[in-house]
């Protein structure tokens, strides 16, 4: 998204994030920025106290350790927030029609996207909420869970995907929000097939697209389809709803995303009934 530079803009690359924002707000009179590049979100959070920015960071940005939206408040103070998790929840609940309350949920990935996703998912009062990790990700997963415990009353648990599949719990919903460094081809489903087959929904926000615009089925989504999972979806809707949440913060109005979602439904969403 790109708005008139006198009102708002979108940043998509890491670069000199702090300097870009300083120029935009101080020299161009900007009012709001939406950041889509994950490393830039983390860099911006890390530099939120930089003298040229001095961001007031919200609790959800603090919990996520990432900032994806900055806006100028009426008192001229710059505020940093994170709408990533809210975009995910809106897409799953409103667009796909899948309730999260009282569901058992497994989240895959140990980046800042996982922090934001877990925080927003926790607000939906699931029956259980677990962060799945691989052996090399154990320390990071445990740190994420312990940090987020200060921001939510929902019990969170980090669980190793390397455990005996028979010992792993079953999940209603499996959500992947960030990539792992491990080669996917070596472990295409990321989770044991016995666990995958019991899921009602598998959601993978990490899929890329062909030049033609059609979504690439990730190994996780392909395995889910082959396992007969009822609802299988990519993450385009999440990204659209993240931007809509940012627009709501800026303008006080949440835009209708239905037309945009319909235009891209065949590209990125695959609902098997």
Residue 59 · residue 35 · CB < 8 Å? no
Separation between Cα atoms, residue 68 and residue 42, nearest integer Å:
9
Distance CA 15, CA 181 (A): 22
User: Pick from 8, 25, 11: which is nearest to 76 by CA?
Assistant: 25
56: left (phi over 0), alpha (psi -120 to 50) or beta: beta
Which residues make Cβ contacts (< 8 Å) with residue 76, sequence separation at least 6? none
Closest by CA to 201, choosing from 244, 170, 239, 162, is 170
Which residues carry out catalysis? Answer: 41
Burial label for 49, CB within 10 Å (0-12, 13-18, 19+), is: exposed
Can you tell me the distance from the alpha carbon of 125 to that of 103, in angstroms, rounded to the nearest whole number?
Answer: 8
Location of structure tokens 């994806």: 68
* Structure tokens given for 20: 């870009």
Q: In the numeric block, which tokens belong to residue 79?
A: 């505020």
Decide: helix, strand or coil at residue 229: coil
């Amino acid at each position: 998204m790109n708005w008139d530079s006198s009102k708002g803009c979108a940043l998509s690359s890491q670069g000199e994030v702090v300097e870009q924002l300083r120029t935009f707000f101080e020299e161009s009179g900007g009012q709001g920025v939406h950041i889509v590049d994950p490393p830039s979100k983390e860099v911006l959070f890390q530099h939120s106290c930089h003298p040229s920015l001095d961001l007031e960071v919200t609790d959800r940005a603090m919990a996520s350790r990432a900032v994806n939206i900055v806006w100028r408040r009426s008192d001229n103070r710059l505020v940093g927030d994170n709408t990533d998790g809210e975009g995910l929840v809106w897409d799953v609940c409103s667009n796909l029609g899948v309730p999260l309350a009282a569901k058992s949920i497994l989240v895959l990935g140990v980046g800042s996207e996982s922090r934001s996703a877990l925080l927003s998912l926790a607000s939906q009062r699931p029956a259980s909420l677990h962060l799945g990790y691989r052996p090399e990700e154990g320390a990071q997963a445990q740190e994420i869970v312990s940090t987020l415990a200060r921001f939510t009353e929902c019990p969170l648990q980090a669980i190793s995907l390397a455990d005996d599949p028979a010992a792993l719990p079953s999940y209603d919903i499996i959500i992947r929000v960030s990539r792992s460094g491990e080669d996917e081809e070596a472990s295409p489903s990321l989770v044991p097939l016995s666990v995958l087959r019991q899921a009602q929904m598998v959601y993978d926000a990490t899929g890329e697209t062909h030049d033609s615009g059609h979504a690439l089925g990730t190994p996780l989504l392909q395995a889910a389809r082959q396992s007969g999972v009822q609802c299988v979806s990519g993450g385009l809707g999440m990204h659209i709803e993240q931007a809509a949440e940012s627009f709501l913060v800026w303008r006080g109005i949440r835009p209708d995303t239905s037309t945009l979602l319909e235009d891209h439904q065949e590209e990125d969403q695959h609902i098997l009934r």
